[in-house]
Amino acid sequence: MTSMNSAKSYIEHHQERFLDELIELLKIPSISADSKYKDDVIKTADVIKTSLEKAGCDIVEICETPGYPIVYGEKIIDPNLPTILVYGHYDVQPPDPLDLWDSPPFEPVIKKTDLHPNGAIFARGSCDDKGQMYMHVKALEYMTSTNQLPCNVKFMIEGEEEVGSESLGWFVERNQDKLANDVILISDTGMIANDIPSITTGLRGLSYVEVEVTGPNRDLHSGLYGGAVANPINVLAKMIASLHDENNHITIPGFYDEVEELTSEERAKMAEAPFSKDAYTQALDIEDVYGEAGYTTNERNSIRPTLDVNGIWGGYIGEGAKTVIASKAFAKISMRLVPNQDWERITELFQKHFTNIAPKGVTVEVKPHHGGQAYVTPIDSIGYQAASKAYEKTFGKVPIPQRSGGSIPIVALFEKELKSKTILMGFGLDSDAIHSPNEHFGIWNYLKGIETIPQFYHYFTEMSK
């Protein structure tokens, strides 16, 4: 297996089919958030089931849940050998706003970009997570068809990741034996650059809430009543603005109480990761970065907790002008959390504070959505070391451990219920526009992932002996 040429030549030989199969998968709009697409989400699970059968799994099942099904597959070659559990998701984010896509989100096209000179597949889900999940299916195909699978493997591919993984939690709690494993392997994150491989060692937690501010019992003429009653939109804007102070610290009492502070050694180590502020601001067309005083950009978006409004609405937004004081205003707010912060406690703190700061004249309702704990994986584990060796082999460089700002809330639950560590081998780039219009995934990245995954299997099995 360490003879890497074998994987390289297999991939070269089959790459066109690997791409075609992914393109077919990307054509199905498996949008879990929108019930209009229910049939498409379910159909995607079936397509994945078939692909796992073809790739060599001995058992593949569609496991029904209270929500969308989970595709489970396994190939157990010897119970004495280690077992890798691969997790991924087949659901995707809604593609809106549609008019900002250069090509339709579910009609994949291949185009070259500056960072992907060999071309990238443009489609919703190409990077998050169909493309990255499918690398694992193709890596399995390579290992089984060339008789090089060194250990046991289980697959668990869900269809509700983008809406909080509720059914997966339900499934994991009920299937601990079935899912027993030595390590969990996920490709649903990113890396620094194609020539700077990195392995994700942390994910932030999340608390997601929706707030509703109610003023007068009906919409009012803004001339007759303006200035005399609280305007829910004005009030909401002011309340939101007050959630950060002049140093961009979050003002919710108790919010930072449990926050894990890194040592200066750990922060110095982090600062070694290459980062260009100019490239960062230029890529986003912004004049400068912004954030919590006392922290670098890389720290602000990984080891520090944050609070962001994801959407805000109310009042008149149609054509022209309408003079009105709306009865209600709304916002969706997310808080990204770091190790030791408990998402349920943070949700309560938010709820209490946001209700407290509401002025007389309005009432406030805070509805919790979903959440999850942060996760950090150790770098001295066999899993991390095996992953590091795998990248070294296929990228020719030792990968940099890096904590990410994103969240995969189910990972902390895996550790709790299945007692195993997760290794996050992500091959996307931050610029791949996940959750955005024109999401794409580099063809080079896709094939590099397929090449690197079998190396992880190899080293993990070797090092577990």
Residues making contact with Mn ion (CB under 5 A): 128-129, 188
Which CB sits closer to ligand BES, 133 or 220?
A: 133
Look at residue 442 and give the partner it binds from Mn ion, ligand BES, none, a contact being a CB closer than 5 to 8 Å depending on partner kind: none
Cβ atoms < 10 Å from Cβ of 247: 9
Look at residue 407 and give the partner it binds from Mn ion, ligand BES, none, a contact being a CB closer than 5 to 8 Å depending on partner kind: ligand BES
Distance (Å, rounded) from C-alpha 185 to C-alpha 381?
13
Which CB sits closer to Mn ion, 129 or 158?
A: 129
Q: For binding to ligand BES (CB under 6 A), which residues are involved? A: 128-129, 161-162, 164, 188-190, 203, 206, 404, 406-409
Which CB sits closer to ligand BES, 93 or 420?
A: 93
DSSP secondary structure string, 17-53? HHHHHHHHHHTS--BTT-GGGHHHHHHHHHHHHHHHH
Which CB sits closer to Mn ion, 21 or 188?
A: 188
Which CB sits closer to ligand BES, 409 or 442?
A: 409
Q: Which residues contact 412 (CB under 8 A, 6 or more apart)?
A: 205, 372, 373, 374, 375
Distance (Å, rounded) from C-alpha 123 to C-alpha 453?
23
CB of 21 to Mn ion, least distance (A): 19
CB of 334 to Mn ion, least distance (A): 13
CB of 299 to ligand BES, least distance (A): 16
CB of 324 to ligand BES, least distance (A): 34
Query: In a 3-state reduction of DSSP, which class is residue 459?
Result: helix
CB of 322 to ligand BES, least distance (A): 34
Continuous segment of H or E residues that includes residue 346: helix 343-356
Look at residue 404 and give the partner it binds from Mn ion, ligand BES, none, a contact being a CB closer than 5 to 8 Å depending on partner kind: ligand BES
CB of 86 to Mn ion, least distance (A): 14
Six token digits for residue 455: 């190396």
Look at residue 346 and give the partner it binds from ligand BES, Mn ion, none, a contact being a CB closer than 5 to 8 Å depending on partner kind: none
Which CB sits closer to ligand BES, 142 or 384?
A: 384
Contact 410, 92 (CB under 8 A): no
Q: Which of 12, 132, 25 is nearest to 441 (CA)?
A: 132
CB of 119 to ligand BES, least distance (A): 21
Look at residue 215 and give the partner it binds from ligand BES, Mn ion, none, a contact being a CB closer than 5 to 8 Å depending on partner kind: none
DSSP state of 335: E
Q: Which pairs from 399-402 meet CB under 8 Å and 24+ separation?
A: 399/191, 399/197, 399/198, 399/199, 400/192, 400/196, 400/197, 400/198, 400/199, 400/272, 400/273, 401/198, 401/199, 401/201, 402/192, 402/198, 402/199, 402/200, 402/201, 402/270, 402/273, 402/302
CB of 94 to Mn ion, least distance (A): 11
Six token digits for residue 112: 């070259």
Q: Which of 26, 12, 200 is nearest to 118 (CA)?
A: 12
Ramachandran category for residue 407: left, alpha or beta (phi over 0 → left; psi -120 to 50 → alpha): beta
Distance (Å, rounded) from C-alpha 409 to C-alpha 375?
8
Cβ atoms < 10 Å from Cβ of 294: 11
Which CB sits closer to ligand BES, 181 or 189?
A: 189
Look at residue 298 and give the partner it binds from Mn ion, ligand BES, none, a contact being a CB closer than 5 to 8 Å depending on partner kind: none
CB of 208 to ligand BES, least distance (A): 7
Distance (Å, rounded) from C-alpha 393 to C-alpha 239?
52
Which CB sits closer to ligand BES, 93 or 144?
A: 93
Which CB sits closer to ligand BES, 40 or 128?
A: 128
